[in-house]
Amino acid sequence: MLTIIESLLDWVYKKKCYFCRSSKEAVKMCSKCYDTLEYLPVKVNRTIDRCNVFCAGVYNKNLQKLIRGLKYHKQKDLAFYMAKFMYDYWQKIDKTNDYEIVPVPIFKAREKKRKYNHMNLTAEEFCKLSGYTVNYRLITRIKDTKPQYKLSKKERSKNLSGAFAVDKTQYNGKKLLLIDDICTTGSTFEEMIKELKNAGINDISCLACSTPFEE
């Protein structure tokens, strides 16, 4: 019933594309704008403690606007398009369905203030597309870290040290796919991998929607 009402409201008020403002398709991201998103070559972006990290695209233009809109401007509908972009890329790497998705967690107080974790929303949409499961409880953020974007590699590592805790009782034995929006130096993935491996969990891959650096 809720879906029907939402569809009627979309039809009445003509949902506009967040990017070009067109109401022709009545969606948050029209097909024309989605098609402007550029993929990076399918290859390992970096390796952290023998775990492969992949980055789907470059953090610029409409991909940057997509991530920022979802993360900071409450454009929750954009989670589907971010997940689709990442999933379409991931399919070229691994088409098996035995992964469990672990979205990068945010500190509870920050999530409460923002009212959502954009990576949780993206993980849910990714799982709808892939058939994977999502695990929110395996790893939590226990330290309220500073924003990373102004920090150097050394400062990022220090900032994230001790930021995550793993509850191995929540591990289901599946291969893990850690997902995040942006991978700059890899410090967030690195700290999560370290804590997971300290708990004896080793079958880990990482996928970021974007990286600031063109390959």
- If asked whether residues 98 and 170 sit together in one domain, one would say yes
Spatial neighbors of 172 by CB under 8 A, at least 6 apart, are: 100, 133, 135
- Would you say 48 and 23 are in contact if contact means Cβ atoms under 8 Å apart? no
Give pLDDT tens digits for 55-107. Answer: 999 999 999 999 999 999 999 999 999 999 999 999 999 988 789 999 999 99
Find the mean pLDDT for residues 187-198.
96
Residues facing 204 on adjacent strands:
176
What is the average pLDDT score of the chain? Answer: 91
Domain that holds residue 15: 1-34
- If asked whether residues 5 and 84 sit together in one domain, one would say no
- If asked whether residues 186 and 138 sit together in one domain, one would say yes
- If asked whether residues 115 and 79 sit together in one domain, one would say yes
- Please report where in the chains the tokens 């019933």 appear, as a residue: 1
pLDDT on residue 6: 59
The CATH number of the domain holding residue 160 is: 3.40.50
In Å, how far are 22, 34, 55 from 203, measured between CA atoms? 44, 32, 18
- If asked whether residues 7 and 104 sit together in one domain, one would say no
Tell me which DSSP letter residue 146 carries: P
Domain count, the chain: 2
Tell me which DSSP letter residue 52 carries: E
- Model pTM greater than 0.75? yes
Give pLDDT tens digits for 105-156. Answer: 999 888 888 899 999 999 999 999 999 999 999 999 998 776 676 677 788 7
- If asked whether residues 83 and 131 sit together in one domain, one would say yes
Phi, psi dihedrals of residue 187, rounded to the nearest 5°: -65, -40
What is the rounded CA–CA span in Å between residue 129 and residue 29? 17
| Tokens, residue 174 | 């599946």
